[in-house]
Amino acid sequence: MSAMFKRFKREPLLPILIVLVMLCLLVFIVYPLFQIAKSSFVGSTGEVGLEGYQRVLSGGGLFHALVNSLVLAVLTATLSTAIAYVFAYTFAYVKVPFKKLFNGIAILPVISPPFVIALSAMLLLGKQGLITKNLLGLENANIYGLHGLVLVQTLSFFPIAFLTLSGLLRSISPSLEEASQNMGASRLKTFLSVTLPLSVPGIANAFLLVFVQSLADFGNPMTIGGNYSTVAREIYLQAVGSYNLQAGAALAMVLLTVTIIVYILQNFWVGKKSYVTVTGKPTGQRRMIESGAVKHGLFTFCMIMSLAVIAFYALVPIGSFIKLWGINNSLTLDHYKYVFSIGQKAIKDTLTLAIVATPIAGLLGMIIAFLIVRKRFFGKKALEVISMLSIAVPGTVIGIGYILAFNKAPLALTSTGIIIVAAFVVRSMPVGIRSGVAALQQIDPSIEEAATNLGASGSKVFTSVVLPLIKSAFFSGLVNSFVKSMTAMSAVIFLISAKYNLITASILAQVEAGRIGVASAYCTILILIMVVALILLNLLVKWMGGKERSA
Amino acid sequence: MGMKKWMSSITALTMAAMLFTGCGSAGGNNAAPANNGGGDAAPAKPQGKLTVYVGFQEDHAVAAIKKFTEDTGIEANMIRMSGGEILAKVRAEQGNPQADVWYGGPADTFVQATAEGLLQPYTSPIAEKVDAKYKDPDGNWTGIYVGALGFASNKEFLAKKGLEAPKTWEDLLNPAFKGEIVMADPASSGTAYTAMYTVLKVMGSEEKGFEYLSKLHPQIQQYTTSGSAPGRMVGMGEAGVGILFAHDVIKYQEEGFDSLELTIPEDGTGYETGAIGIIKNTKNEELAQKFVDWALSPAGQEVGKTVGSYQNLTNPDAVGPEKAVKLSDINTIDYDVVEAGKERQRLIDKWSAEVKK
């Protein structure tokens, strides 16, 4: 008792902080999920039953959507992981030019609006497509459907797999491979018997990450899915289109279950293994592949992929200046005029809400990371699980949960900015938590202990010892939050209102109405905002860094 | 030391406060974040701000709201959604309505909303000029425009295949159109529901209608979310034939889609009555009524044609667009808006379960 009291006296704010954080998580993550679970069992007239689940699992349209989503996710994840592996391998093992370019290419899709690539795919490969019609003279190119989705999702998601794999491949100790080669194994044999097995956990990790992303993807199926219905889209049509909240909620629950199973698999099966090879101390430089067919093959592959990505991105700004793609290819500023007269509000709203959400998400992420890594308190495990839960919850599920949870008093938040900010924060925070946790784990607790022993309070230790040390994690969290908020779509499509319309919703509406030019103009502006924001945040980091050194 | 300790406590408190305001303010108060000017909680001010859900095209919507504010001095926020989306949103917000006026989109959805008690009756003095078949006798909704359904065909596609533009619903079943037809999803689009209901009427019975819809299904390349999207897709050559409102087809033609050919089904076509209504429990009833009066007036109805909307207008004093397809010139079915609205959910559910499996 007295120990607790002492702790409380030394860190009077800690309990308050923990309670506040817990409250936030309960209100904005647990409660909406609970509401979905509840609604999935309650029909429109209030009767309790399994009707929703029966509709999902009875083999009808909803079941097809589920199967479709799984097929799409498997295909996308397989392709993405394969491409990402080649990229990552080239990065870590081959001496090729333009590595910076490849790296940039791989990161580009992360900062772009969700369906830039889908838009380009239509412009490039649709019936009026630059490649399909003008180059190949095809008459009946149809980009809508599974193949279009696989293409678009692979291009959008392989960077995620790349980021996972490149770290792992670079950290594989070269000594094992050298040993293998010294014993006379060929390069291929070494690759197959040493490198590949060592990267299996990373491959599985990358696969599962993309799998989940593909499963939860909303923008691409909406734009280019055609009649290939997927779960995220079907949830939207059920909930918003037909207002069948029971079926929508049941479908959301099924999607959530699949996602969580995947995450559990990842944690149990991969999570533990993935550090095995990384723990060893670095043992010198890897001998890079400098010549030969392998090098040229890999280089060519990476180059082609990069050019493809560039082509897809370049087309959007070009498309934004073209009057009517494929019909009237004269240049025009009309689309920008439209965006700046009619879409101004959406841009302003999105920017404002993202700017509000970014520091909250960044700070909350760091605080949660700090609590997880450094503090011991009742409910810590729950806090950890819940805060990470939001990464596993598909945006569509969050969105429908928010409609259900925040429609009525006491939490009548529909149509307010708060609900959108909350969705932004919840969606983007987990990445911040992860990088915060990673950063904190690298800091020896003894530094903090020293400070504490010298009499510093908990908050003092946090602000003057911990915070400076995790600054870079904090800023990368900020960048991520901003980018994620600006391009958020699946969760917020349920939450837009006359007061707050969002740019991604406007883009989707334009795509739906077939105004590819206007949609491209929106995307171009969005990308520009993102670039400016990244530059500003970078300057801010530099400025903060400079100030610190001088102090 | 004590000072420093205080300072760091304050820093931490500030951060906690930031968390609380940013995230914890869910605790009950409804304050919008400070960044936005359109505060919603100012009931004391009589000159409120209207919120309007708009069911027709966005550029028309923006022009109309702007003109309304010019004409009346009343400010208004708006968001464009498809008919089904508006109905869903109004339903979801039943306990805590977020909008005052529902402006545009087929009357069928308004009928359904009336049945569910989502609308507040108001008979505008101008409504007496509107033909009885274009308004609800109880004033839950009033028609503002009328437009017939048509087929949009891509001329190049027709020429290449040696086909004529479809002139009847039967024509759409021609194997040459397999995978070439686009229409919206009746679940999300009022346009598509109008088409579906029309088919049931033209075929003579629900049974025969569904038989037809089942035969039509394999012909369909894609069901879009919004009702006008098929026109663009056909115009761009993404599809051969689209089912949508004639006025939307004309709009696309005027925007430069020379490739579009418009035909009206000769065996009978349905039409939408675009309606306006006030959402129940609006906090700005008086302003909402002013909006309805305005929308029914010639000034309100004639905004459309300035931004390329080609519907017929319901106020006989308003001068409609010249290019509009006049209902008197075509073979329209007896479109029973009330029945269509009442049966809406059942028919959509049936369609989803039996046709679009």
Per-residue pLDDT tens for A525-539?
A: 999 998 898 888 888
CB-CB under 8 Å, B222 with A407: no
Which residues make Cβ contacts (< 8 Å) with residue A237, sequence separation at least 6? B185, B187, B188, B225
For position A278, what pLDDT does the model report?
41
Amino acid found at A112: S
For position B10, what pLDDT does the model report?
45
For position A7, what pLDDT does the model report?
63
Average confidence (pLDDT) over A186-204: 85
Amino acid found at A175: S
CB-CB under 8 Å, A515 with B187: no
Task: Please give the residue of chain B at the shortest CA–CA distance from A323.
Answer: B256
For position A75, what pLDDT does the model report?
97
CB-CB under 8 Å, A514 with B235: yes
Q: What percent of chain A has pLDDT over 90?
A: 23
Size of interface A-B (CB pairs under 8 A): 226
> Among the listed ranges A14-28, A116-130, B130-144, which one has the minimum average pLDDT value?
A116-130
Task: Please report which confidence band the pLDDT of residue A491 belongs to, taking 50, 70 and 90 as the band edges.
Answer: confident
Mean pLDDT score across all residues of chain A? 84
Q: Flag whether residue B42 sits within 8 Å of chain A, measured between CB atoms.
A: no
Structure tokens at B324: 């509009």
CA distances from B241 to A135, A511, B57, B81, B194 (A): 25, 19, 21, 24, 17
Scan for tokens 């592996």, then name that residue: A85
Name the region of B255 (left: φ>0; alpha: ψ -120 to 50; beta: rest). Answer: alpha
> Among the listed ranges A6-10, A234-238, B337-341, which one has the minimum average pLDDT value?
A6-10
For position B165, what pLDDT does the model report?
96
Nearest to A377 by CA among A16, A9, A2: A16
- In this predicted structure, the answer to whether residue A498 has a pLDDT above a threshold of 70 is yes
C-beta separation of B149 from B245 below 8 A:
yes
For chain A, report the end-to-end CA distance as a whole number of angstroms: 41
Which run of H or E residues covers position A291?
Answer: none
* SS3 state of residue A322: strand
> Among the listed ranges A6-10, A87-91, B86-90, which one has the minimum average pLDDT value?
A6-10
Question: What are the φ and ψ backbone dihedral angles of B273, each rounded to 5 degrees?
Answer: -100, 110
Structure tokens at B207: 């049974």
* Burial class for B279, CB neighbours closer than 10 Å (0-12, 13-18, 19+): buried
Structure tokens at B282: 């609006």
**Average pLDDT per consecutive 10 residues, chain B (357 residues; last block may be shorter):** 46 46 40 41 59 90 94 92 85 86 93 93 94 94 95 95 95 94 88 94 95 95 86 88 95 90 96 95 94 96 91 93 91 91 88 83
CB-CB under 8 Å, A144 with B221: yes
Q: Which of B187, B238, B357 has its CB closest to that of A60? A: B357
Which residues make Cβ contacts (< 8 Å) with residue A424, sequence separation at least 6? A353, A354, A357, A361, A481, A484, A485, A488, A492
- In this predicted structure, the answer to whether residue A266 has a pLDDT above a threshold of 60 is yes
Q: Flag whether residue B84 sits within 8 Å of chain A, measured between CB atoms.
A: yes
CB-CB under 8 Å, A407 with B93: yes
- In this predicted structure, the answer to whether residue A60 has a pLDDT above a threshold of 80 is no
CB-CB under 8 Å, B36 with A499: yes
Longest dimension (CA), chain B: 91
State the Cα–Cα distance between residues B288 and A240, nearest whole angstrom.
25
For chain B, report the end-to-end CA distance as a whole number of angstroms: 73
Q: Which of A28, A142, A459 to mutate to test the interface with B (most CBs of B within 10 A)?
A: A459
State the Cα–Cα distance between residues A35 and A236, nearest whole angstrom.
17
* SS3 state of residue A330: strand
Strand B181-184 to strand B119-120: parallel, antiparallel, or no bridges (unpaired)?
unpaired
CB-CB under 8 Å, B98 with A352: no
* d(CA A121, nearest CA chain B) in Å: 13
Q: Which of B25, B59, B96 has its CB closest to that of A408? A: B96
* d(CA A122, nearest CA chain B) in Å: 10
Name the region of B145 (left: φ>0; alpha: ψ -120 to 50; beta: rest). Answer: beta
Q: Flag whether residue B88 sits within 8 Å of chain A, measured between CB atoms.
A: yes
Q: Flag whether residue B14 sits within 8 Å of chain A, measured between CB atoms.
A: no
Q: Flag whether residue B348 sits within 8 Å of chain A, measured between CB atoms.
A: yes
State the Cα–Cα distance between residues B275 and B109, nearest whole angstrom.
9
Q: What percent of chain A has pLDDT over 70?
A: 93
CB-CB under 8 Å, A418 with B25: yes
Scan for tokens 């086909």, then name that residue: B163
State the Cα–Cα distance between residues B142 and B286, nearest whole angstrom.
17
Task: Please report which confidence band the pLDDT of residue A10 belongs to, taking 50, 70 and 90 as the band edges.
Answer: low
Which run of H or E residues covers position A328?
Answer: strand A328-331
How many CB atoms sit inside 10 A of residue B355's CB?
Answer: 18
How many CB atoms sit inside 10 A of residue A186's CB?
Answer: 10
CB-CB under 8 Å, B236 with A326: yes
Question: What are the φ and ψ backbone dihedral angles of A398, each rounded to 5 degrees?
Answer: -60, -45
Q: Flag whether residue B357 sits within 8 Å of chain A, measured between CB atoms.
A: yes
Neighbouring-strand partners of residue B79 = B53
Which residues make Cβ contacts (< 8 Å) with residue A262, sequence separation at least 6? A208, A211, A212, A215
* d(CA A307, nearest CA chain B) in Å: 26
C-beta separation of A172 from A199 below 8 A:
yes
